[in-house]
Amino acid sequence: MLEHQNIRPEPIIESDIEWFQTLFKSCFCRDNPWMQHLGKTKYEAFHLNKQAFIFTYTVEDYTDLLTIGVHPHQRRRGVGEFFLKWIITKAPKAQKFFLEVECENNAAISLYKKIGFDLISIRKGYYPQSSGPALDAYVMTYQK
Protein backbone atom coordinates (compact mmCIF):
# COMPACT_ATOMS: atom_id res chain seq x y z
CA MET A 1 0.00 0.00 0.00
CA LEU A 2 1.11 3.56 -0.65
CA GLU A 3 1.48 4.54 3.02
CA HIS A 4 4.53 2.29 3.23
CA GLN A 5 6.21 3.74 0.15
CA ASN A 6 6.87 7.08 1.88
CA ILE A 7 4.95 8.97 -0.82
CA ARG A 8 3.96 12.50 0.16
CA PRO A 9 1.50 14.76 -1.64
CA GLU A 10 3.02 17.96 -2.99
CA PRO A 11 1.25 21.28 -3.61
CA ILE A 12 0.27 22.10 -7.19
CA ILE A 13 1.62 25.53 -8.10
CA GLU A 14 1.19 27.84 -11.09
CA SER A 15 4.27 26.50 -12.86
CA ASP A 16 2.57 23.06 -12.89
CA ILE A 17 -0.23 24.19 -15.21
CA GLU A 18 1.06 22.50 -18.38
CA TRP A 19 1.53 18.97 -17.03
CA PHE A 20 -1.50 19.32 -14.79
CA GLN A 21 -3.85 20.21 -17.67
CA THR A 22 -2.65 17.10 -19.52
CA LEU A 23 -3.24 14.91 -16.46
CA PHE A 24 -6.69 16.42 -15.87
CA LYS A 25 -7.72 15.76 -19.48
CA SER A 26 -6.51 12.16 -19.25
CA CYS A 27 -8.74 11.70 -16.20
CA PHE A 28 -11.87 13.58 -17.30
CA CYS A 29 -11.58 14.27 -21.08
CA ARG A 30 -12.15 18.00 -20.51
CA ASP A 31 -10.31 21.11 -19.33
CA ASN A 32 -9.79 21.78 -15.64
CA PRO A 33 -12.04 24.52 -14.25
CA TRP A 34 -10.08 24.86 -10.99
CA MET A 35 -6.62 26.06 -12.12
CA GLN A 36 -7.78 29.67 -12.07
CA HIS A 37 -8.13 29.37 -8.29
CA LEU A 38 -4.55 28.29 -7.56
CA GLY A 39 -3.00 30.44 -4.88
CA LYS A 40 -6.31 31.91 -3.73
CA THR A 41 -7.23 31.75 -0.07
CA LYS A 42 -9.22 28.69 0.95
CA TYR A 43 -8.30 26.69 -2.18
CA GLU A 44 -5.69 23.95 -2.01
CA ALA A 45 -4.38 21.59 -4.67
CA PHE A 46 -2.03 18.65 -4.30
CA HIS A 47 -0.56 15.95 -6.51
CA LEU A 48 1.06 12.58 -6.04
CA ASN A 49 4.02 12.10 -8.38
CA LYS A 50 2.12 13.90 -11.15
CA GLN A 51 -0.15 10.84 -11.37
CA ALA A 52 -3.04 11.93 -9.12
CA PHE A 53 -4.45 15.21 -7.84
CA ILE A 54 -6.98 16.72 -5.49
CA PHE A 55 -8.45 20.23 -5.31
CA THR A 56 -10.24 21.42 -2.17
CA TYR A 57 -12.02 24.52 -0.96
CA THR A 58 -12.27 25.03 2.80
CA VAL A 59 -14.52 27.45 4.68
CA GLU A 60 -14.67 27.34 8.47
CA ASP A 61 -15.47 23.75 9.45
CA TYR A 62 -16.13 22.20 6.05
CA THR A 63 -14.16 21.24 2.98
CA ASP A 64 -15.52 20.75 -0.52
CA LEU A 65 -13.57 18.11 -2.42
CA LEU A 66 -13.82 19.90 -5.76
CA THR A 67 -12.10 17.25 -7.80
CA ILE A 68 -9.95 14.21 -7.36
CA GLY A 69 -8.37 12.37 -10.24
CA VAL A 70 -6.03 9.47 -10.82
CA HIS A 71 -4.29 8.86 -14.14
CA PRO A 72 -6.08 5.97 -15.91
CA HIS A 73 -2.90 3.82 -15.82
CA GLN A 74 -2.64 4.24 -12.03
CA ARG A 75 -6.22 3.37 -11.10
CA ARG A 76 -7.14 0.41 -8.92
CA ARG A 77 -3.81 0.61 -7.05
CA GLY A 78 -4.99 2.40 -3.90
CA VAL A 79 -3.93 5.88 -5.01
CA GLY A 80 -7.38 7.48 -4.70
CA GLU A 81 -8.00 5.85 -1.33
CA PHE A 82 -4.59 6.98 -0.04
CA PHE A 83 -5.22 10.54 -1.22
CA LEU A 84 -8.71 10.75 0.34
CA LYS A 85 -7.49 9.42 3.67
CA TRP A 86 -4.57 11.84 3.58
CA ILE A 87 -6.74 14.92 2.94
CA ILE A 88 -9.15 13.87 5.70
CA THR A 89 -6.36 13.46 8.24
CA LYS A 90 -4.77 16.74 7.11
CA ALA A 91 -7.97 18.70 7.89
CA PRO A 92 -8.72 20.06 11.37
CA LYS A 93 -10.79 18.00 13.81
CA ALA A 94 -14.59 18.10 13.48
CA GLN A 95 -14.11 18.73 9.76
CA LYS A 96 -17.00 18.02 7.40
CA PHE A 97 -16.40 17.06 3.79
CA PHE A 98 -18.68 17.35 0.78
CA LEU A 99 -18.31 16.17 -2.80
CA GLU A 100 -20.27 15.57 -5.96
CA VAL A 101 -19.80 12.45 -8.00
CA GLU A 102 -21.39 11.51 -11.32
CA CYS A 103 -24.20 9.04 -10.58
CA GLU A 104 -22.81 6.41 -12.95
CA ASN A 105 -19.23 6.53 -11.62
CA ASN A 106 -19.53 3.30 -9.66
CA ALA A 107 -15.81 2.97 -8.91
CA ALA A 108 -15.65 6.41 -7.28
CA ILE A 109 -18.93 5.91 -5.42
CA SER A 110 -17.67 2.60 -4.02
CA LEU A 111 -14.45 4.24 -2.87
CA TYR A 112 -16.27 7.12 -1.18
CA LYS A 113 -18.61 4.70 0.61
CA LYS A 114 -15.63 2.58 1.70
CA ILE A 115 -14.03 5.67 3.27
CA GLY A 116 -17.29 6.50 5.06
CA PHE A 117 -19.03 9.07 2.86
CA ASP A 118 -22.83 9.07 2.91
CA LEU A 119 -25.22 10.00 0.09
CA ILE A 120 -27.30 13.04 1.04
CA SER A 121 -28.90 14.24 -2.22
CA ILE A 122 -28.85 14.28 -6.02
CA ARG A 123 -28.05 17.28 -8.21
CA LYS A 124 -29.91 16.96 -11.49
CA GLY A 125 -27.98 18.02 -14.58
CA TYR A 126 -24.84 18.91 -12.60
CA TYR A 127 -22.15 17.75 -15.05
CA PRO A 128 -22.46 19.41 -18.49
CA GLN A 129 -21.59 17.31 -21.53
CA SER A 130 -20.28 18.40 -24.93
CA SER A 131 -23.26 16.59 -26.46
CA GLY A 132 -26.40 15.28 -24.87
CA PRO A 133 -28.02 16.16 -21.57
CA ALA A 134 -26.00 17.06 -18.49
CA LEU A 135 -25.35 14.20 -16.08
CA ASP A 136 -26.75 13.95 -12.56
CA ALA A 137 -24.47 13.91 -9.53
CA TYR A 138 -24.75 12.45 -6.06
CA VAL A 139 -23.86 14.77 -3.22
CA MET A 140 -21.99 12.91 -0.52
CA THR A 141 -20.69 13.93 2.89
CA TYR A 142 -18.25 12.70 5.48
CA GLN A 143 -17.71 13.93 9.01
CA LYS A 144 -14.89 13.01 11.35
Active-site positions read 100, 112
Alpha-carbon span 62 to 43, nearest angstrom: 12
Q: Please state the φ and ψ torsions of residue 40, each to the nearest 5 degrees.
A: -80, 150
Q: How many CB atoms lie within 10 A of CB 84?
A: 22
Q: Is 101 left (phi over 0), alpha (psi -120 to 50) or beta?
A: beta
